[in-house]
Structures are given as structure tokens and as C-alpha cells.
Amino acid sequence: MVSRVIPVEPFDLVIFGGTGDLARRKILPGLYRRFQAGQMTPDSRIIGAARADLDDNGFRALVAEAIAEFVPAERQDKAVLGEFLKQLHYVAIDAKGEGGWPQLKALMRSGVVQAFYFSVAPALFGDLAERLRAHKIAGKNDRIVVEKPFGRDLATARELNATLARHFDESQIYRIDHYLGKETVQNLMAVRFANILFEPLWKAEYIDHVQITVAETVGVDGRGAYYDTSGAMRDMVQNHLMQLLCLIAMEPPYHFDPNAVRDEKLKVIRALDAVQPQDIVRGQYLAGDGQGGYLEHSENPASRTESYIALKCHISNWRWKGTPFYLRTGKRLRARTSEIAITFKEPPHSIFDDAEGWRENVLVIRLQPNEGMNLMMMIKEPGPGGMRLTQVPLDMSFADALGEAHQETPDAYERLIMDVIRGNQTLFMRGDEVEAAWAWADPIITGWESRGDKPQAYDAGSSGPEDALMLMHRDGRRWRDIR
């Protein structure tokens, strides 16, 4: 089963910050892969823009290096690369100055899709938007793509939205949350809304609780000073984990349509209760395995920023009243894993005498590693020993189930950039969604700031702070192992 690649319309994509880390690691290698797959046709162009004094050939050399470094060896192909590089151009532009804009305008073609990727610091979004309009480069059908962080609280997110809205309509703005581009995340919607199996059970009556885990083994070494101004709540929960929660909890949209899907996600965020201080645990990793601890990496010995957070939240609506959602994410943990686990309630009555070994059904959706799904089921233990029960996984690894087609699945950035060109905003956050998520997160953050709460230390390579275990234990539940 190999999925069909449908070429997108010819486009001119300008990448502001085309020489930066994100462009080199994700955007340009992603475009190369889409070109290689035949999705980006030879009449499309990519125009890099940054302050560095480069010409087309200098930019092409930089991109060739990035592809050599960030595209897996088995995908490297000299002939394809040669053709891809021909489609690349460069203009030296300072977002804050007037130089370079006429050259960019002269390069852009009419009659093709035009998109502008703001892969620069958010402080420059306003300058870019204003100059794209002032120099009459961007029109009313063109698209702009912006990256996280989208604000650091509600006030800054509103300001950023207002800045963009002065120059572009909401239908032109593509706010990237790369988690939404992940295959399994989209599969969440397919599993829920293309099968009859789960939806009747998808409610507080049958679901005991939901766990969302995004665990990383890496620390913040190298970008600690920046990270220290953010922390796990701002960096991960307000955006990525919140988006996952929305996809699990939302009502079925009337159609798989950008605004219908985003309307339903927004309702979930608005229905979230305030999180109580006793339902939040924050942590900072200690030194270990020859690596420094968070305080060292953040270059701030007095830091109160969290590299780990676990919290319990409730959604106040008919579907979810009474089902807690436990969220946790952190750095320097035991394993790199991301999963959503939906634990169903026990059957109301057991007809079996042997309740030993009894476990609830759990649907696990693995985002990484080894994307797939796992449904933990009770069956009879094989053998002549009478009616004894045991739990087994119904395991579906996408790599095994889909074979070659899975090998071909584009990564999140590839898919999202192609969606920008197609003009499909379903997997991008709308301005009101971002603001609602900050409206929920702000009081949580200001709460611990005003109380002067200090994060709890946790061992590098562990599952996080002790108190995080207690957060679930006191509800008679336990976290799934991080492995």
C-alpha cells in the first residue's frame, strides 16, 4: 500500500531566516524530500532571505550542506539535489531596513501560490508583515507562516495577533504547531471519527482518565539561557500538549474542515477548569551521567523555571465531567517517548471469580518512538488452568502494518508546508485558539510566580520528581512507565 503523491500547484515560497537553524534542519530538508517525492514540481521556487550577504550560489551551497547533514543517507541523491538547488534563490534583506525589498518584489511571480515563512524571532514578525505590504509584495491571497513561540502570555499573544491582523486576514495566517503535522496525531482524528468502535465509549461514563506524556532524554544544554525565560509550561504544555488534549476531547466536527475542526478545539480549551496549585508539580533535573544539571545549563543558579511539569486538569462539559486529564512533559527523563493513554473504566460487574491480574482496557496512541496504537485487552490465559484472565496488547505498529507506505510518510514540517501551499489551515492554530490556551495557562504561571514556588529537583534519567508520582497515587492511579 503506497500512498499517492499529488503534486501541489507551482509556488514561490520566501523563507525569511532561510539561513537559520530551523530552515537548515527542518524546512529546507523537508522541501527537498517533497521535491524528491514529486510533490513540489520543478516550476516552483524557494527564495531564502536573511541579512547575510549571500548570492544564489552561496545560498545553494548552504542548503546543499544542510541537506547532507539533515537528510538521512538513504534519501540523498546527487541528481535530485542538483535539480532542487536550481529552484533556490536568495535575497539579502534586513527585516528592519528597506534594502532588498525591491529585489524580492522583482523575483516574485504572479499566477503562482505565494507564501512567506517567518522563520525568524517573533519580534520581527511585525516588521516583515508591514514591509511585505508596504512594498506591495504580498497580496490578499498570499499566505504567511509563523513559528512558535506565539507569545509568552495572553497579552503578548494578543499583541502578536493584532500586529499580524493589521496586515493579513486570519485566513492567510498559518501558525505552526509541528505536533499537529505528526502522522499519529492526525490518526487520532481518523481513529475517533472514521470508526464506530470508540466514539460511543469516548466519554466520562466509560473513560477513567487520560494521560498525555511527552518525555525527552535531552537537557537544555546549549540553549539553556533562552529556555530559562520559557520553561516546560510555556514551551510544551500551552501549545503541543494542549493541542493533543483538544484532539482527544473535542466533539466531532460537522466536517473535516479547517474552521469546523478549530471551532471544536477552541470549545475544549474554553471548557478547561482552572488548575489548582496542588494539582501541579514542577521539577528541575539534577546533574548526572557526566552532564550538568538544569541550574548549570540555564546559567542561572537561582532559576525557578521548570524543566518538568505534571498537572491534572478537568474539562467542564457533558462529555468529560469527572474524567481527569493528566499531562506531563520534561527534559532529561528516562526515555524519549510521546504517547497518549486512554484508560477505560472496569466493567460494572465481573462474572469471573478470578479477579487477580485484572486490568482496565487502555488505548495507547504512540507518537514516538515506533508510531502506532496499542489496545490493552483482557483475555483468558491460555492453558488448562481454568478461567484465568490475563492482559494482552492488540498492537498495531504503523511501520509493520503499512510497510512501504509508512517509510514514505513525510515528517511534520513536510506535511505542514505542503498544506500551506494547498491553502488548508486545518492543522494550524487559529488566533483565538492560541489566545484561549494562554488565557488558561496564564493564571497557572502567575500563581506559582506570585507564591514563589520552587521546582523540585529530580534525578537525570528518572521519571521525574517524586511528587509527580503522588499526583496520581492520591487519586488511586499511576503513571505509565516512561520507557
Ligand X SMILES: NC(=O)c1ccc[n+]([C@@H]2O[C@H](COP(=O)([O-])OP(=O)(O)OC[C@H]3O[C@@H](n4cnc5c(N)ncnc54)[C@H](OP(=O)(O)O)[C@@H]3O)[C@@H](O)[C@H]2O)c1
Choice from 60, 143, 148, 297 touching ligand X (CB under 6 A): 148
Say whether residue 338 binds ligand X (CB under 6 A): no
Is the Cβ of residue 163 or residue 390 nearer to ligand X in the bound state? 163
Say whether residue 22 binds ligand X (CB under 6 A): yes
**C-alpha closest to that of 279 among 46, 35, 448:** 448
Q: How far apart are CA 240 and CA 179, in angstroms?
A: 6
Give the three-state DSSP class for 94. coil
- Quote the least distance from Cβ 46 to ligand X, whole Å: 14
Say whether residue 147 binds ligand X (CB under 6 A): yes
Q: Would you say the C-alpha torsion 407, 411, 414, 416 has a positive or negative sign? A: positive
Choice from 121, 134, 387, 470 touching ligand X (CB under 6 A): 121
Say whether residue 321 binds ligand X (CB under 6 A): no
From 240, 297, 314, 406, active-site residue? 240
Site for ligand X in 47-86 (CB under 6 A): 50-52
Say whether residue 126 binds ligand X (CB under 6 A): no
Choice from 47, 85, 95, 247 touching ligand X (CB under 6 A): 95
Residue pair 388/379 in contact by the 8 Å Cβ criterion: no
Choices 80-88, 90-98, 228-236, 257-265 (CB under 6 A): range interacting with ligand X: 90-98
Choices 10-18, 78-86, 389-397, 470-478 (CB under 6 A): range interacting with ligand X: 10-18
- Read off the C-alpha cell for 44: 516552483
- Quote the least distance from Cβ 8 to ligand X, whole Å: 23
Is the Cβ of residue 54 or residue 315 nearer to ligand X in the bound state? 54
Rg (CA), the chain: 24
Is the Cβ of residue 19 or residue 39 nearer to ligand X in the bound state? 19
Choices 11-19, 184-192, 297-305, 409-417 (CB under 6 A): range interacting with ligand X: 11-19
Is the Cβ of residue 23 or residue 295 nearer to ligand X in the bound state? 23
Q: How far apart are CA 281 and CA 283, in angstroms?
A: 7
Which residue in the shown chain puts its C-beta closest to ligand X? 20
**C-alpha closest to that of 413 among 10, 2, 4, 29:** 29
Indicate the residue type of 179: Y
Is the Cβ of residue 156 or residue 390 nearer to ligand X in the bound state? 156
Is the Cβ of residue 52 or residue 396 nearer to ligand X in the bound state? 52
* Neighbour order of strands in the sheet with 207-215: 389-397, 372-380, 362-368, 337-344, 207-215, 325-330, 308-313, 280-285, 456-458
Q: How far apart are CA 131 and CA 135, in angstroms?
A: 6
Say whether residue 230 binds ligand X (CB under 6 A): no
- Quote the least distance from Cβ 160 to ligand X, whole Å: 11
Site for ligand X in 446-465 (CB under 6 A): none
Choices 147-155, 286-294, 327-335, 456-464 (CB under 6 A): range interacting with ligand X: 147-155
Say whether residue 5 binds ligand X (CB under 6 A): no
Strands (E), 54-158: 88-92, 113-118, 143-146
- Quote the least distance from Cβ 325 to ligand X, whole Å: 25
Say whether residue 120 binds ligand X (CB under 6 A): yes
Q: How many CB atoms lie within 10 A of CB 89?
A: 20
203-208: long-range contacts at Cβ-Cβ below 8 A with a sequence spacing of 24 or more?
203/319, 203/320, 203/323, 204/319, 204/320, 204/321, 204/322, 204/323, 205/345, 206/344, 206/345, 207/323, 207/342, 207/343, 207/344, 207/345, 208/323, 208/343, 208/344, 208/345, 208/360, 208/477
- Quote the least distance from Cβ 126 to ligand X, whole Å: 12
Say whether residue 119 binds ligand X (CB under 6 A): yes
Q: Would you say the C-alpha torsion 318, 324, 329, 335 has a positive or negative sign? A: negative
Give the three-state DSSP class for 73. helix
Choices 17-25, 264-272, 312-320, 451-459 (CB under 6 A): range interacting with ligand X: 17-25
Specify whether 240 is catalytic: yes
Say whether residue 21 binds ligand X (CB under 6 A): yes
Q: Which amino acids are annotated catalytic? A: 240
- Contacting positions for ligand X (CB under 6 A): 16-23, 50-52, 93-96, 119-122, 124, 147-149
